[in-house]
């Protein structure tokens, strides 16, 4: 018997989540235990893509300003967690001024960042898609009922 294990614990998100975001998320999960710092950096990149796509914040010069621009559009606790992803992801993305100062990211810490990315993908993309589909279905039902009441 051959045992088949998934390459990672990444959730498979639907195609309406932008491909680049899904790829970065899946890659971050695939390297989680090999390089948690790189995984955290990819989670940061994923978050930046999501903010640019979902909120349209594409004209800011950096992620700090993109996150700041959505501060009034997300709950305070969510905003603080989003900003924390930026800071933790910066550990891998930017070297400290003191090159001998090494700050590591542990696998469980990087996994927390990926769990937040999953939560945001669910809230921002999946929930929005499900809501739009429900609205369409209700409007179609309304049209059908109206047509049944007044056949022409």
Tens digit of each residue's pLDDT (9 = 90 or more) over 71-114: 999 999 999 999 999 998 887 655 556 555 567 889 999 999 99
Whole-angstrom distance, CA of residue 31 vs CA of residue 15: 22
Q: Is 45 exposed, middle or buried (0-12, 13-18, 19+ CB in 10 A)?
A: buried
Whole-angstrom distance, CA of residue 76 vs CA of residue 46: 20
Residue 110 in domain: yes
The pLDDT of residue 144 is 93
The pLDDT of residue 99 is 54
31 pLDDT tier (thresholds 50, 70, 90) = very high
Residue 62 in domain: yes
Poorest-confidence range of 4-18, 88-102, 113-127? 88-102
Residue 128 in domain: no
Quote the number of domains for the chain: 1
Query: Which tokens in the block code for residue 66?
Result: 């993109």
Cβ contacts of 64 within 8 Å, gap of 6 or more: 86
Poorest-confidence range of 16-20, 33-37, 74-78, 103-107? 103-107
> Domain range for residue 24?
12-94+106-121
Residue 77 in domain: yes
Q: What is the mean pLDDT of the chain?
A: 90
Residue 35 in domain: yes
Residue 41 in domain: yes
Residue 46 in domain: yes
Residues of the chain with pLDDT > 90, as a percent, come to 77
Say what the pTM is: 0.85
What's 22's domain CATH number? 1.20.120
Whole-angstrom distance, CA of residue 118 vs CA of residue 17: 11
The pLDDT of residue 135 is 97
Average pLDDT score over residue span 110-119: 96
Give tens-digit pLDDT for 44-71. Answer: 999 999 999 999 999 999 999 999 999 9
DSSP collapsed to 3 states, the chain:
CCCCCCCCCCCCCCCCCCHHHHHHHHHHHHCCCCCHHHHHHHHHHHHHHHHHHHHCCCCCCCHHHHHHHCCCCCCHHHHHHHHHHHHHHHHHHCCCCCCCCCCCCCHHHHHHHHHHHHHHHHHHHHHHHHHHHHHHHHHHHHHHHHHHHCCC
Residue 140 in domain: no
Whole-angstrom distance, CA of residue 7 vs CA of residue 2: 15
């Amino acid at each position: 018997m051959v045992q088949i294990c998934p390459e990672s614990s990444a959730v498979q998100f639907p195609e309406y989540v932008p491909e680049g975001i899904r790829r970065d998320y899946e890659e971050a999960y695939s390297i989680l235990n090999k390089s948690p710092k790189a995984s955290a950096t990819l989670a940061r990149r994923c978050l930046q893509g999501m903010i640019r796509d979902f909120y349209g914040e594409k004209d800011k010069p950096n992620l700090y300003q993109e996150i700041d621009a959505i501060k009034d559009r997300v709950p305070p606790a969510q905003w603080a967690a989003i900003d924390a992803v930026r800071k933790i992801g910066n550990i891998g993305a930017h070297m400290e001024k003191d090159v001998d100062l090494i700050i590591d990211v542990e696998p469980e810490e990087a996994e927390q960042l990926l769990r937040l990315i999953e939560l945001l993908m669910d809230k921002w993309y999946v929930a929005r898609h499900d809501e739009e589909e429900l609205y369409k279905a209700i409007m179609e039902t309304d049209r059908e009922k109206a047509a049944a009441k007044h056949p022409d």
